[in-house]
Amino acid sequence: MNPLLLVEDSDPDAEALMRIAKRLPLPVPVVRVRDGENALDYLYRRGAHEDAERPTLILLDMHMPGISGRDVLATLKADPDLRSIPVIIFSSSLDVGDVQGAYADGANSYLFKPEIGPQLQATAEALHAFWFKAARLPEPQEPEA
């Protein structure tokens, strides 16, 4: 089963999300990468990620060192083989420019990342209810050769 790709540089945030994901009846495994460079390596199956499965959904932090989430988003939405993968920006930024820019670059949604605790649990449950119960996700397709 193709995974949800979590792109998150914060270990505490990623660990909290992984704990929540284990308690939810997620129909897919969660794979985490720590930064934009590794996210692109995963998506393009480079280096340590040459056997990576195409993700069903991407949960992408906006502000990361090196290649930003916005740059990752723009890269994959410009690629005909990757653009159909839904991308949810998951960021603690409420800056209007970040929100507008993410949607302009092709984000499928923008969720505010609350502090670790009950609000994070509620946000993860809402994400699960929409993306894995209500929405119909595209079937993962292999890139054209």
CATH code: domain of residue 83: 3.40.50.2300
Query: Residue 47 falls within a domain, yes or no?
Result: yes
Compute the average pLDDT of residues 51-62. 95
CA atoms lying within 13 Å on the CB side of residue 78: 9
Query: Residue 123 falls within a domain, yes or no?
Result: yes
pLDDT digits (tens, 9 = 90+) for 74-131: 999 999 999 999 999 999 888 999 999 999 999 999 999 888 888 888 999 998 899 9
Query: Residue 34 falls within a domain, yes or no?
Result: yes
Q: What is the pLDDT of residue 141?
A: 67
The answer to pTM > 0.75 is yes
**Which structural domain range is residue 42 located in?**
4-133
d(CA 55, CA 31): 9
Query: Residue 28 falls within a domain, yes or no?
Result: yes
pLDDT digits (tens, 9 = 90+) for 105-119: 999 999 998 888 888
Q: What angle do CA 119, 54, 124 make, to 5 degrees?
A: 10
Query: Residue 43 falls within a domain, yes or no?
Result: yes
Which residues have a Cβ under 8 Å from the Cβ of 20 and sit 6 or more positions away?
120, 121, 124
> Domains in the chain: how many in total?
1
**Of 27, 26, 36, the residue nearest 62 (C-alpha):** 36
Contact 2, 140 (CB under 8 A): yes
